[in-house]
């Protein structure tokens, strides 16, 4: 057994203790009721694009807290009003939804696309949620002392509402909704897979939001912000860990019931292999993991091809 095979074997068996709070299911059941009870109140506006064969729209819908959330909705012009499979995409930390034409390759596969801004970060979406406590740089520590005010809660409920909007569209096949993203987007994709009843398949590349206590200790990810918060306010360490446990994919993985593809890079110091396998190993639905022994925190073109192949096969697209 070479060192790569040994590393894979070790990670495949890696099952750290869960940190699931006692009221986890009650908390999320309540949150899902709130998400479903509030009308989405979305509107869609056509936008110009230099790509002649693309139809592009700016979509604005409300978060649970009334924050206006922005996204691009794009479709291939040749499809007309045909019901298409749709992929909902979430970007990485500090990013944004970019431009509509960034998603043209998905249209060549016959997909519609909803590309969503994560609130408060590098896109056009703000954040109306108040900060009940001081924070450190970045967004992760907003409301981190309470599960009901935690930033991870708001971006997760935002993601769920985005999928709900897609499922309501008359030009989308509601049985063929895919969820995908990388890093932060990968973590949100797995959260949606665990909590939404509308997603059909998920691809989570190098996902964050997994095994977050390990990440706070060891990674160079956004969880460094949580570590810095606990360093600055050491009296709050246990509360920080408790809050994060509600949003740790490792603790929610057993709720995933749809096919999942995950990717991992063994040289990734941001979303470390241990964190990804801690969540992946607890997924009980059909799953596959693509392992890249010499890749850091990025997604290669080969993995993008594997993603397309996986979605076409899983959704039975011709």
pLDDT of the residue at 200: 97
Cα distances from 116 to residues 3, 56, 72, 314, 315, in angstroms, run: 40, 14, 7, 23, 22
CATH code: domain of residue 18: 3.40.50.1820
Reference 223, options 93, 127, 97, 89; nearest CA is: 93
Contact 294, 236 (CB under 8 A): no
Note the pLDDT of residue 1. Answer: 87
| 254 annotated active-site | no
What is the maximal distance between C-alpha atoms in the chain?
59
Q: Is residue 317 part of a domain?
A: no
- Tell whether 316 is covered by a domain: no
User: What would the two tokens of residue 284 be?
Assistant: 């009980």
Decide the pairing of beta strands 54-62 and 43-47: antiparallel
Average pLDDT over residues 228-253: 97
Round to whole Å and give the CA distance between 183 and 190.
11
Please compute the mean of the pLDDT values over residues 50-58 and round it to a whole number.
Answer: 96
CA distance linking residue 152 with residue 147, whole number of Å = 9
What would the mean pLDDT of 139-159 be, rounded to a whole number? 96
How many Cα atoms occupy the beta-carbon half-sphere of 165 within 13 Å? 27
Mean pLDDT to the nearest integer, 215-231: 94
Q: What is the pLDDT of residue 86?
A: 98
Tokens of 131: 């900060």
pLDDT of residue 243: 98
Quick check: 316 pLDDT over 90? no
Tell me the mean pLDDT in the region 2-24.
Answer: 96
Q: How far apart are CA 189 and CA 184, in angstroms?
A: 9
**Which one has a higher pLDDT value, 255 or 63?**
255
Range list of β-strands (E), 101-224: 112-116, 172-182, 201-205
User: What percent of the chain stands above pLDDT 70?
Assistant: 100
- Catalytic, 297? Answer yes
Catalytic, out of 183, 189, 219, 221: 183
132: helix, strand or coil = coil
Residue 206 pLDDT > 90: yes
The enclosing H or E element of 47 equals strand 43-47
Tell me if 163 is assigned to some domain.
yes
Encoded tokens for 3: 């060192």
For residue 167, how many other CB atoms are within 10 A of its CB?
18
Residue-number span of the structural domain to which 305 is assigned: 3-311
179 forms bridges with which residues in the sheet?
88, 202
Q: Is 268 annotated in the active site?
A: yes
Please report whether residue 33 resides in a domain.
Answer: yes
Q: Is the pLDDT of residue 66 over 90?
A: no
Q: Specify the pLDDT at position 317.
A: 78
CA-CA distance, 75 to 81, in Å (whole number)?
10
Give, in order, the Cα–Cα distances in Å from 73 to each of 111, 126, 177, 190. Answer: 11, 19, 14, 21
Q: How confident is the model at residue 64 (pLDDT cuts 50, 70, 90)?
A: confident
Domain assignment of residue 318, yes or no: no
Domains identified in the chain, total number: 1
Reported as a single tens digit per residue, the pLDDT across 268-312 is 999 999 999 999 999 999 999 999 999 999 999 999 999 999 999
What is the enclosing helix (H) or strand (E) of 159?
A: helix 151-168
* pLDDT score recorded for residue 133: 85
**Residue 155 covered by a domain:** yes
What is the rounded average pLDDT for all residues in the chain? 95
**Rounded mean pLDDT, 227-249:** 97
Residue in 143, 160, 170 with CA at minimum distance from that of residue 40: 160
134 confidence band (pLDDT: 50, 70, 90): confident
Asked whether residue 244 is domain-assigned, the answer is yes
pLDDT at residue 318, as a whole number: 58
- For the chain, give the percent of residues with pLDDT over 90: 89
Q: pLDDT tens digit string along 85-120?
A: 999 999 999 999 999 999 999 999 999 999 999 999
Distance CA(180)–CA(153), nearest Å, equals 19
Catalytic residue among 70, 91, 211, 297: 297
């Amino acid at each position: 057994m070479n060192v790569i095979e040994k590393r894979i074997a070790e990670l495949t068996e890696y099952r750290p203790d869960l940190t699931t709070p006692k009221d986890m299911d009650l908390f999320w059941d309540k949150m899902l009721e709130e998400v479903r009870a509030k009308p989405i109140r979305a509107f869609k506006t056509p936008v110009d694009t230099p790509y002649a064969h693309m139809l592009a729209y700016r979509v604005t819908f409300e978060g649970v807290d009334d924050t206006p959330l922005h996204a691009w909705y794009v479709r291939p012009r040749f499809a007309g009003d045909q019901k298409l499979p749709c992929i909902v995409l979430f970007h990485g930390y500090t990013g944004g939804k970019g431009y509509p034409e960034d998603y043209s390759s998905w249209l060549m596969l016959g997909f519609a696309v909803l590309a969503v801004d994560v609130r408060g970060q590098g896109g056009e979406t703000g954040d109306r949620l108040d900060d009940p406590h001081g924070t450190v740089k970045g967004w992760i520590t907003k409301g981190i002392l309470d599960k009901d005010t935690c930033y991870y809660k708001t971006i997760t409920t935002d993601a769920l509402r985005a999928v709900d909007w897609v499922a309501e569209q008359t030009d989308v096949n509601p049985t063929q909704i895919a969820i995908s993203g990388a890093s932060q987007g990968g973590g949100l994709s797995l959260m949606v897979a665990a909590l939404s009843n509308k997603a059909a398949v998920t691809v989570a590349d190098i996902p964050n939001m997994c095994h977050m206590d390990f990440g706070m200790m060891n990674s160079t990810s956004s969880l460094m912000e949580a570590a810095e918060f606990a360093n600055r306010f050491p009296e709050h360490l246990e509360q920080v860990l408790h809050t994060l446990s509600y949003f740790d994919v490792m603790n929610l993985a057993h709720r995933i019931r749809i096919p999942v593809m995950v990717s991992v890079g063994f040289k990734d110091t941001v979303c470390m292999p241990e964190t990804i396998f801690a969540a992946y190993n607890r997924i009980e639905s059909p799953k596959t993991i693509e392992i890249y022994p010499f890749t850091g925190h990025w997604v290669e073109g080969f993995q993008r091809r594997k993603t397309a192949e996986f979605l076409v096969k899983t959704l039975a697209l011709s």
